[in-house]
């Protein structure tokens, strides 16, 4: 199997980014009318975007309690990541480990040269070597596809909209009591609409990128069945761990191997497709390899 352009992914990304762009133009117009200054809007959003773009990897690792580890501490893990990075034609990313019983892994970082792959101690205990290779290859595929950068940019204004909705009263805090609150209400309502639509669009894009990363990981290792087996093991363990563990950090700018949230609502708005569908596609890839 060769690494090839996923035109379905590119088409979905283009449509979603176009819709987000159109949505954000309207949002900027509303905020500009409220602040009475386009410069203020651009300055505020620019600061948020720079912070999110340049520090998202550090924030993600910190929030997960993941610490960068040396080759002396985890020689086998480093050797595995080095070998898979070479197969993926990528610079070796930073390697981090989170001391958690939740079996999970994630990739983060703004570019291929500034990326990190993190695994939990739980996933290293749960999976065998081939399965762990499949998981790490999946995360490297996210890095190769620049998924973290794309999703960080795509979610930027959605994050701003959410903050305005959540802390909207602060925008009107300086107004006199009993004064005209209409601009504040308009800004909050516009932000709410933008956040909801952005949320759904970004989730749809994220789910498709998971399928692409599954295929990319299978291309890197040449063993789709190993990742399928890993997904089965991880999904079976996720419900047996404390919900307050990694689940609170599900919204960080990172791509987890398996969704952290559960329940009906979690599935409806999940960033990941159903595990069953992912495994089915991996098995199709396995059959493709056998007949090649």
Considering Cα of 279, then 280, then 281, then 287, what sign does the dihedral take?
positive
Given the residues 131, 133, 139, 210, select the one marked as catalytic.
139
Give the pLDDT confidence score for residue 60 in this predicted structure: 78
pLDDT at 42: 59
Is the Cα dihedral 92, 93, 98, 100 positive or negative?
negative
Residue 139: active-site member: yes
Q: Is the dihedral of CA 7, 13, 19, 22 positive or negative?
A: negative
Distance, CA of 22 to CA of 9 (rounded, Å): 20
Name the residue ranges covered by the structural domains of the chain.
7-291
The three state secondary structure string of 231-289 is: HHHHHHHHCCCCCCCCHHHCCCCCEECCCCCCHHHHHHCCCCCCHHHHHHHHHHHHHHH
Backbone angles phi, psi at 255, to 5 degrees: -105, 105
pLDDT at residue 217 in the model: 93
Q: How much is the pTM? A: 0.74
Q: How far is CA 284 from the centre of its chain?
A: 25
Distances from the Cα of 162 to the Cαs of 79, 117, 121, 268, in angstroms? 41, 28, 33, 19
Residue 118 CB contacts under 8 Å (≥ 6 apart), including other chains: 61, 64, 66, 95, 96, 97, 98, 105, 106, 107, 108, 254
* Pairing verdict, β 115-120 and 105-109: antiparallel
Q: Widest CA span of the chain, in angstroms?
A: 74
Give the pLDDT score at 124.
Answer: 95
Burial of 170 (0-12, 13-18, 19+ CB in 10 A): exposed
Q: Is the dihedral of CA 146, 18, 209, 66 positive or negative?
A: positive
C-alpha closest to that of 109 among 163, 55, 62, 158: 55
- In which residue are the tokens 């089915």 written? 280
DSSP letters for 176-231: PTTS--HHHHHHHHHHHHHHHHHHHHHHHHHHHHHHHHHHHHHHHHS-HHHHHHHH
Non-local (6+) Cβ contacts of 178 within 8 A are none
In the prediction, which pLDDT does 241 show?
54
| Terminal alpha carbon distance of the chain | 8
Per-residue pLDDT 10s for the chain (292 aa) are: 566 666 666 676 677 667 766 766 666 666 666 655 556 655 666 676 676 667 777 877 887 788 999 999 999 999 999 999 999 999 999 999 999 888 889 998 878 888 999 999 999 999 999 999 999 999 999 999 888 777 777 776 666 666 665 555 444 544 444 555 565 666 667 667 777 777 777 777 788 888 889 999 999 999 999 999 999 898 876 655 554 444 444 444 567 777 655 444 444 456 677 888 899 989 988 888 877 6
């Amino acid at each position: 199997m060769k690494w090839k352009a996923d035109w379905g992914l590119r088409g979905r990304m283009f449509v979603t980014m176009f819709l987000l762009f159109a949505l954000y133009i309207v949002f900027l117009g509303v905020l500009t009318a409220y602040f009475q200054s386009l410069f203020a809007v651009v300055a505020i959003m620019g600061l948020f975007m720079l912070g999110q773009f340049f520090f998202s990897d550090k924030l993600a690792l910190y929030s997960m309690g993941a610490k960068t580890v040396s080759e002396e501490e985890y020689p086998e893990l480093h050797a595995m990541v080095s070998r898979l990075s070479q197969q993926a034609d990528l610079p070796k990313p930073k390697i981090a480990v989170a001391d958690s019983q939740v079996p999970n892994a994630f990739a983060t970082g703004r570019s291929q040269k500034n990326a990190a792959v993190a695994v939990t101690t739980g996933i290293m205990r749960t999976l065998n070597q081939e399965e762990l290779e499949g998981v790490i290859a999946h995360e490297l595929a996210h890095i190769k596809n620049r998924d973290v950068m794309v999703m960080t940019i795509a979610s930027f204004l959605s994050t701003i909209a959410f903050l305005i909705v959540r802390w909207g009263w602060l925008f009107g805090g300086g107004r006199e009591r009993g004064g005209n609150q209409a601009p504040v209400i308009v800004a909050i309502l516009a932000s709410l609409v933008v956040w909801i639509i952005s949320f759904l669009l970004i989730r749809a894009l994220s789910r498709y990128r998971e399928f692409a990363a599954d295929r990319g990981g299978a291309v890197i290792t040449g063993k789709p069945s190993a990742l399928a087996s890993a997904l089965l093991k991880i999904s079976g363990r996720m419900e047996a761990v404390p919900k307050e563990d990694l689940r609170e950090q599900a919204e960080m700018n990172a791509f987890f191997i398996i969704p952290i949230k559960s329940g009906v609502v979690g599935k409806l708005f999940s960033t990941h497709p159903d595990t069953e569908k992912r495994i089915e596609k991996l098995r199709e890839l396995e059959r493709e390899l056998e007949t090649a």
